[in-house]
Structure 1
Amino acid sequence: METVLAFLVLVGILIWFHELGHFLFAKLFGVKVEVFSVGFGPVLFKKQWGETEYRLSAVPLGGFVKLYGEEDGISDPRAFSSKPNWQKILIAFAGSFFNFILAVLIFWLIGMLGKEVPKYALEKPVVGYVQENSPAQKMGLQRGDLILSVNRKKVDNWKDLEEKLLKDIFEQELKLEVLRNGKVLTLGGKVDLRNPRGFGAEPLIEPVVGTVLENSPAKQVGLQEGDRILSINGVEIKSWQEAVKLIRSAEKIDLKIERQGQIREITLVPMKDPRTGISMIGIAPKVETIKVKQGPFEAFKGSFERIATLTALTLKALWGMITGSLSPTNLGGPIAIAQMAGQSAQQGLIPYLGLMAFISVQLAIFNLLPLPMLDGGLILLFLIESIRRKPLPLKFKEAWQELGFALIVALSLFVILNDLLRLISGKKF
């Protein structure tokens, strides 16, 4: 229920803000707005206020504003069709423009409120663990390496490293400068940073228990917060990541732990994830966090930088799908958004707002694609009419809309199927 509510609030705000952009720009240019609807399909609630009917509809996967005189040939000055093409273009663009504004406001607020980050995120990026078969391992990174730069861009801490890797996620070549045993080395090669497991270089996380889940195998055998894991099945443990690796494949676990200076031995049988078959015992690491805040000006500047990065990554991803270098199975639909909304809501207000801003940027860019039925498709038609200096034939416009409807239905079915396959296979969204 919490997931459904989190999803409805998130998409409701995004849709409302998008349609508000169309609505306000239509009013600005003197166009009569007949209907303002959040959602499609059967009307759940409606109210006439002035000349506009406001609706809440049953299908929360979009919305619309119905403008008076959208069809050609109406000479009324309040008709959409009577307006010059530059005004029509701005009205069509306004929805995405407002989604960008919403993202700016949210990222600005997050920056000023501050968010909890792991303490290690602001520490020097000294490698504490390298995942097997990861891009980091293939490049030759080793435990103890201090990462100095990524593609000649200086790296200050783990947070900085993550941001720079994210910006270069679609690059084929990656070069790192690292400090190893007092010598600066250059590591490089062709790597795929889109690996779902990530880059694979991680900070050292001490093998100390921070959380024990209720009704878990760990809880049942008496594991406690603060317990330090010394060994698993006779293998010495130096990091939390090493512990996770051994636990995930174990059928039975012999733990040696240190608690308040005393050594204890515990045996337990892990539970299995029904979808993946991975073993789990229900513990999480003890990670110290700090709250990072920014001043109003710094947060405002940072919000634009975040949006610029997200926009560039989204456009690169779209281009990758067009060229075939990125599989369209990476697309997520309403089920994926609902899952992420529920998870972020459980984590707190800041992660939930961050997800809202992220999806707001995605929605803005998607709607500007020059495809039928999207705002970008309308803008394309108005640009063509401006160049031709006369309206396009009615039959062409009708065919364009029919094509758009077919494309939207096909895309909707595809992303929903994608979501279902991910859900069944147990893959993360």
Structure 2
Amino acid sequence: MGFLLVLGPLVTLHELGHYLVGRWCGVRADAFSIGFGKELFGITDKRGTRWKISALPLGGYVQFAGDMNPASQPSEEWLALPEQERAKTFQAQPLWQRALIVAAGPVTNLLIAIGILAAFNFAYGKLNIPPVIALVQEDSAAAKAGLDIGDRVIAVNGDPIESFDELRDIVVPNPGTDVDLTVEREGAQKEYSFTIPTLVEQDRFGNEFQVGRLGVGSSPGEIIAVGPVEAITLAFKQTGDIMVMMVQGVWQIITGRRPVDELGGPIKIAKYSGEQLSLGWRQFVSFAALISINLAFINLLPIPALDGGHLAFYAAEALRRKPASARSQEWAFRLGIAFVLSLMVFVTVNDVISLPIFGS
């Protein structure tokens, strides 16, 4: 249930972003599908668009008029269309409009997340915790390095920080990384350098995560009310921070600093969706915002067959003043589809292996 409540609306709104910008650009849509595969039911509107629900609920798509091959390149079938019909096809639009149509999906997902986070910021305020150490655990990395209660962390790796949250956001997702802290103690500055220890933590549902911990704690802090403008500004920053952490997480998996079993697919999303739904609507909506950012991030990767792959080709076309050959694009998109399908199979197997029935 939680899985459908998360992915269903997010995928629909993602595709709706493509559809609405395409319609604004004068492109006719032949089909708007939630899910893949065989159509279960649908209706056709007065513009000729077939709105349908399909059997495999793991995504969706908009089929624009004339979009007859994976690389969206003109074909003999497209060239044979009457000029009036051809003008309403995707390929007939100028480069900037095609780029807007493709970018609209992931941008919509980002706007959804920003809207959710801004609403939470406005409703609940922001937590302000000064970067002052209020607790040092015995035998922790911080204790061994010489940090003490009352120390104020003013910079991490030379970059100034203003809140304990900023320190946490640097430490927690980067276990095993070297870090330099600049600390203010009794008016004097001190420098501390050490490696962030790696800990494996478990949530209430038994899910395990590798995190970095220094072994320090903060004061409770205070809740500060924010106005609508600050709430939106803060939401943009929060979304950007989450995107950066996603990039870091992928790079850590590629470089072997994190295990590949942290990659998740539809089964893991379904599991986490149900868990978050059981915690209440606020946690569930927060999780939906995170998944929406995740969808935007994945779709913006420069992999042929994804939105980011199309945008990469459009960027190359803008620089070269001409598109890549139809044959090279066709092969690139075939390889991209093969890569995406292989990755889906891998993460699905990964998800199945991690289920409790296999002793994980």
When the two structures are superposed, what TM-score results if normalisation uses the length of structure 2?
Answer: 0.79
Q: Deviation at 1:43? A: 2.5
Query: What corresponds to 1:379 in structure 2?
Result: 311
1:189 alignment partner, one of 171, 194, 214 = 194
Q: Deviation at 1:140? A: 5.0
Partners of 1:310 and 1:115 lie apart in 2 by: 19
Q: Secondary structure at the match of 1:100?
A: helix
Query: What corresponds to 1:284 in structure 2?
Result: none
Query: What corresponds to 2:341 in structure 1?
Result: 409
Q: Deviation at 1:146? A: 4.2
1:226-254 CA deviation, whole Å, 9 max, x = no partner? xxxxxxxxxxxxxxxxxxxxxxxxxxxxx
Query: What corresponds to 2:329 in structure 1?
Result: 397
Q: Deviation at 1:56? A: 1.9
1:105 is the counterpart of 2:115? yes
2:267 alignment partner, one of 325, 332, 335 = 335
* Superposition pairs of residues 106-185 of structure 1, within 5 angstroms: 106-114=116-124, 124-127=132-135, 129-130=137-138, 135-136=141-142, 139=145, 141=147, 144=149, 146-151=151-156, 158-165=164-171, 172-175=178-181, 177=183
2:88 alignment partner, one of 43, 53, 78 = 78
1:36 alignment partner, one of 27, 32, 35 = 32
- Once the two structures are overlaid, the 10-residue window that deviates more, 186-195 or 350-359, is 186-195
Q: Deviation at 1:96? A: 0.9
Partners of 1:91 and 1:138 lie apart in 2 by: 54
Q: Cα distance 1:332–1:81, how it changes in 2: closer, same or farther (>3 A)?
A: same
Q: Deviation at 1:106? A: 0.8
Contact 2:103 2:307 in 1 (8 A): yes
Query: What corresponds to 2:212 in structure 1?
Result: 198
Give, as a single letter, the amino acid of the residue that structure 1 aligns with 2:39. V
Partners of 1:154 and 1:391 lie apart in 2 by: 44
1:111-163 CA deviation, whole Å, 9 max, x = no partner? 1121798x9x6795311535x6x654664556x46453451566666545424
2:59 alignment partner, one of 39, 58, 62 = 62
Q: What is the percent sequence identity of the aligned residues?
A: 28
Q: Deviation at 1:24? A: 1.0
Partners of 1:293 and 1:419 lie apart in 2 by: 41
Contact 2:153 2:183 in 1 (8 A): yes
Q: Deviation at 1:190? A: 2.6
Unmatched 5+ stretches in structure 1: 206-287
Q: Deviation at 1:344? A: 1.9
1:261-288 CA deviation, whole Å, 9 max, x = no partner? xxxxxxxxxxxxxxxxxxxxxxxxxxx9
Contact 1:116 1:289 in 2 (8 A): no
Partners of 1:403 and 1:419 lie apart in 2 by: 24
Give, as a single letter, the amino acid of the residue that structure 2 aligns with 1:101. L
Contact 1:115 1:350 in 2 (8 A): no
Q: Cα distance 1:420–1:24, how it changes in 2: closer, same or farther (>3 A)?
A: same
Partners of 2:146 and 2:36 lie apart in 1 by: 53
Give, as a single letter, the amino acid of the residue that structure 2 aligns with 1:110. F
Q: Secondary structure at the match of 2:60?
A: strand
How many residues were matched structurally?
A: 335
Query: What corresponds to 2:285 in structure 1?
Result: 353
Q: Secondary structure at the match of 1:55?
A: strand
Query: What corresponds to 1:295 in structure 2?
Result: 227
Partners of 1:164 and 1:321 lie apart in 2 by: 17
Contact 1:178 1:187 in 2 (8 A): no
Partners of 1:157 and 1:381 lie apart in 2 by: 41
Contact 1:33 1:52 in 2 (8 A): yes
Rg larger in 1 or in 2?
Answer: 1
Give, as a single letter, the amino acid of the residue that structure 1 aligns with 2:114. V
Query: What corresponds to 1:6 in structure 2?
Result: 2
Query: What corresponds to 1:268 in structure 2?
Result: none
Query: What corresponds to 1:20 in structure 2?
Result: 16
* Superposition pairs of residues 316-335 of structure 1, within 5 angstroms: 316-335=248-267
Unmatched 5+ stretches in structure 2: 69-73, 201-209
Contact 1:147 1:177 in 2 (8 A): yes
How large is the RMSD of aligned CA atoms in angstroms? 3.5
Contact 1:46 1:53 in 2 (8 A): yes
Give, as a single letter, the amino acid of the residue that structure 1 aligns with 2:115. L
